[in-house]
Amino acid sequence: MRRQPNRTRAKAAPLTEARLQAAVIDLAHLFGYRIAHFRPARTADGGWRTAVQGDGEGFPDCFMVRAGRAIAAELKSERGRLTPAQAAWLEAMAAAGVEVYVWRPSHWRSGQVEAVLSKSEAVTG
């Protein structure tokens, strides 16, 4: 008797925060956004620092602009939490009329990130 091939689907690699970051940047470019993300660099003592002046601590992972829209997105793992500095930046940006989001891998998989970026005008609510 011949055995049937195993047709179970291979598990997809987990969508880490770094992979989510790369995917958001690529999608933002696809929809015509200019996007900024500031990467930290490793220091001589093995730590990580992002060179910044002023109130840079907690600045959102992605800042995107396109005609008529400005979006700030903090990217987190499914269980990741905002730091107080991150929450303060998002609150200040929202008060200034910037769309703000906290996106997790589940938002990517559900299509929510694409739905937000594909809209031609600001999302309210």
Q: Would you list the domain boundaries of the chain?
A: 17-118
Instruction: State if pTM tops 0.85.
Output: no
Residue 50 predicted with pLDDT over 80: no
Q: Please say whether the beta carbons of 63 and 35 come within 8 A.
A: yes
DSSP letter, residue 32: T
**In sequence order, what are the residues at sequence separation of 6 or more whose Cβ sits closer than 8 angstroms to the Cβ of residue 4?**
none
pLDDT (mean) for 26-42: 90
Q: Regarding predicted confidence, which is higher, 87 or 53?
A: 87
Query: What does the CA dihedral 41, 49, 104, 61 come to, rounded to 10 degrees?
Result: -90
Q: Give buried/exposed letters for 91-107 (b at 16+ CB in 10 A, else e).
A: eebeeeebbbbbbbbeb
pLDDT per residue over 56-84, tens digit each?
889 999 999 999 999 999 999 999 999 99
Per DSSP, the residues of 49-77 read E----SS-TT--SEEEEETTEEEEEEE--
pLDDT per residue over 91-124, tens digit each?
999 999 999 999 999 999 999 999 999 997 766 5
- The owner of tokens 């107080």 is 84
Query: pLDDT at position 14, please?
Result: 79
Categorize the per-residue pLDDT at 20 as very low, low, confident or very high, splitting at 50, 70 and 90: very high
Protein fold of 17-118: Trna Endonuclease; Chain: A, domain 1 (3.40.1350)
In sign, the C-alpha dihedral spanning 85, 118, 29, 108 is: positive
Categorize the per-residue pLDDT at 125 as very low, low, confident or very high, splitting at 50, 70 and 90: low
